[in-house]
């Protein structure tokens, strides 16, 4: 359908007004004869407006006579009529030819690259790898060796299950499928120790298989063996096993926050102004003498590449600078206020780290020359044991 409309524009089409009592029958007959009517709009009960290709117009008139419908030409449109209208204007045709030639030349290059499928992986990392391997904005499509680029990236990234490169128009679409990273699985028949995952003080230890190596209250460091993967009895020799058990310990977490006694805060006034620039590949033209009339402001920059039609990008980028006027005010904190702010910030970070029961919390605030230092310390009971295969 889209191709048919483009063909009609090239061949020319007519905006027509159709009047009659059997318009629906007329439209159905046109469809049966594969005559395309588009842009239909009903003015009133027996009158509609429509567009029809010039090559189909006479045939549509004959069909209209069969159903008592009269077709009236309202406007002649399309390339042939445009050429007829401007045939005496040589400059127009020269410029038109230059534009068409420029589009043909530009269509041979890549002017936009987008990465699709990244959730855990940073898309910028993939984009940088793609550029390092030769796919950049401005790359000639004939020189593009997508298979080589894909193979090189797969060798560099274990977190990619699949990557593909699709070129549409002047747009290169990088599609990725992230790999599901599986945790290390230890064979149940192998011999293992249970070791400490972090520094802690043992609060409880229970072994179903293996030999306990530490006591309750002992201090251990990360990597220390808690339950050894062997057993021996009074009448049996030492033999190795797959150790099993649970070890809990008290782990200390600490987070420090520095809170200034005086802090400058910004607030928006509600006043906004916008500035624009245009970028041709690497050449930028600013449409402003200075970025903002405001004395103090924050700026948000947004940009958009010019897309002539679907997946046909041009090496032109429109840039918008949105400036938000701000006013500054100085806020002074006393020790109590600083401690509350510091504690809140520290606890927010600590809660992302801990995975257990908090049994104690300490807050220490120290006054410095120009700031307060707030230290929040958590004591947490956690499971600190993990299996580690014994290497002989």
In a domain, 338, yes or no: no
Q: 133 with 149: CB under 8 angstroms?
A: yes
CATH code of residue 78: 3.30.70.260
- Give how many domains the chain has, as a whole number: 4
pLDDT at 44: 72
Q: 193 with 228: CB under 8 angstroms?
A: yes
Greater confidence, 1 or 165?
165
pLDDT at 283: 87
* Residue 143 DSSP code: G
pLDDT tens for 14-24 read: 999 999 888 88
Pair (116, 173) in one structural domain: yes
Domain residues for 318? 262-331
Question: In the predicted model, what is the mean pLDDT of residues 339-354?
Answer: 94
Residue 96's SS3 state is: helix
Residue 136 predicted with pLDDT over 70:
yes
Residue 115 predicted with pLDDT over 80:
yes
In a domain, 184, yes or no: no
In a domain, 343, yes or no: no
CATH code of residue 118: 3.10.20.310
> Long-range pairs for 275-279 at CB < 8 Å and ≥24 separation?
275/320, 275/321, 275/323, 276/318, 276/319, 276/320, 276/321, 277/318, 277/319, 277/321, 278/316, 278/317, 278/318, 278/319, 279/303, 279/316, 279/317, 279/318, 279/319
Question: In the predicted model, what is the mean pLDDT of residues 349-368?
Answer: 94
In a domain, 288, yes or no: yes
Residue 2 predicted with pLDDT over 60:
no
Pick from 280, 296, 331: which residue ends a domain?
A: 331
Greater confidence, 124 or 95?
124
The dihedral built from the CA positions of residue 78, 83, 86 and 92, taken in this order, carries a sign that is positive
Pair (201, 172) in one structural domain: no
**Phi and psi torsions of 62, nearest 5°:** -65, -40
pLDDT-based confidence at residue 384 (cuts at 50, 70, 90): very high
pLDDT at 225: 94
Question: In the predicted model, what is the mean pLDDT of residues 308-332?
Answer: 91
pLDDT at 373: 96
Pair (235, 268) in one structural domain: no
> pTM for the whole thing?
0.55
pLDDT at 322: 95
Pair (266, 324) in one structural domain: yes
Q: What percent of the chain has pLDDT over 90?
A: 51
Residue 85 predicted with pLDDT over 80:
no
- Report the side by side order of strands in the sheet with 297-309: 283-286, 262-280, 312-332, 297-309
- The length of the chain in residues reads 392
In a domain, 303, yes or no: yes
Output the six-digit token pair for 300: 């948000």
pLDDT at 336: 94
Q: 146 with 165: CB under 8 angstroms?
A: yes
Phi-psi region of 112 (alpha: psi -120 to 50; beta: other; left: phi over 0): beta
In a domain, 350, yes or no: no
CA distance 297 to 323: 6
Residue 302 predicted with pLDDT over 90:
yes
pLDDT at 6: 64
- Residue 29: other Cβ atoms inside 10 A: 17
pLDDT-based confidence at residue 4 (cuts at 50, 70, 90): low
Pair (60, 24) in one structural domain: yes
Q: 277 with 287: CB under 8 angstroms?
A: yes
Greater confidence, 168 or 308?
168
In a domain, 357, yes or no: no
Question: In the predicted model, what is the mean pLDDT of residues 280-293?
Answer: 87
Residue 201 predicted with pLDDT over 70:
yes
State the average pLDDT for the chain.
Answer: 88
pLDDT tens for 251-268 read: 999 999 999 999 999 999
CB-based burial, 321-352: b 16+ in 10 Å, e otherwise:
bebbbbeeeeeebeeeebbebbbebbbeebee
pLDDT at 5: 61
Q: 81 with 15: CB under 8 angstroms?
A: no
pLDDT at 183: 60
Residue 1 predicted with pLDDT over 60:
no
CA distance 41 to 48: 5
Pick from 311, 331, 351: which residue ends a domain?
A: 331
pLDDT tens for 58-69 read: 999 999 999 889
pLDDT at 184: 61
Residue 122's SS3 state is: coil
CA distance 19 to 61: 12
Q: How big, in percent rounded to 5, are the helix, strand and coil portions of the chain? A: 25, 45, 30
In a domain, 363, yes or no: no
> At how many degrees (to 10) do helices 2-11 and 79-86 cross?
30
Provide CB contacts within 8 A for 29, sequence distance 6+.
63, 66, 67
pLDDT-based confidence at residue 185 (cuts at 50, 70, 90): low
């Amino acid at each position: 359908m889209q191709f048919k409309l483009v063909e009609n524009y090239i061949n020319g089409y007519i905006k027509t007004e159709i009047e009659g009592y059997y318009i629906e029958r007329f439209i159905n007959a046109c469809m049966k004869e594969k005559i395309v009517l588009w842009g239909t709009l009903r003015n009133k009960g027996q009158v509609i407006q429509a567009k029809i290709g010039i090559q189909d117009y006479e045939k549509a008139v004959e069909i209209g006579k069969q159903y008592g419908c009269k077709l009236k030409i309202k406007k002649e449109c399309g390339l042939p009529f445009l050429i007829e209208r401007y045939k005496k204007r040589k400059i127009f045709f020269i410029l038109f030819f230059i534009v068409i030639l420029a589009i043909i030349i530009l269509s041979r290059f890549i002017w936009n690259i987008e990465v699709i499928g990244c959730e855990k992986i940073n898309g910028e990392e993939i984009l940088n790898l793609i550029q390092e391997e030769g796919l950049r904005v401005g790359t000639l499509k004939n020189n593009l060796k997508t298979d080589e680029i894909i193979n090189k990236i797969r060798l560099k990234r274990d977190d990619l299950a699949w990557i593909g490169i699709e070129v549409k128009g002047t747009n290169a679409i990088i599609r990725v499928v992230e790999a599901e990273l599986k945790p290390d699985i230890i064979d149940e028949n192998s011999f293992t120790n249970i070791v400490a995952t972090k520094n802690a003080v043992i609060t409880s230890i229970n072994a179903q298989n293996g030999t306990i190596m530490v006591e309750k209250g002992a201090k251990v460091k990360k990597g220390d063996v808690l339950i050894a993967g062997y057993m021996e009895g009074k009448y049996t020799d030492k033999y190795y096993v797959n150790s099993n058990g649970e070890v809990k310990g008290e782990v200390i977490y600490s987070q420090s926050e520095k809170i200034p006694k005086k802090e400058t805060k910004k607030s928006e006034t509600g006043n906004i102004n916008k500035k624009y620039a245009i970028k041709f590949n690497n050449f930028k033209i600013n449409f402003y003498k200075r970025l903002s009339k405001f004395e103090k402001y924050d700026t948000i920059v947004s940009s958009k590449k010019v897309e002539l039609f679907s997946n046909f990008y041009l090496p032109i980028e429109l840039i918008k600078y949105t400036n938000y006027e701000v006013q500054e005010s100085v806020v002074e904190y006393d020790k109590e206020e600083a401690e509350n702010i510091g504690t809140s910030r520290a606890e927010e970070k600590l809660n992302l780290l801990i995975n257990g029961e908090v049994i104690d919390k300490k807050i220490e605030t120290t006054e410095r020359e120009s700031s307060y230092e707030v230290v929040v310390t958590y004591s947490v009971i956690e499971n600190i044991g993990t299996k580690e295969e014994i290497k002989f």
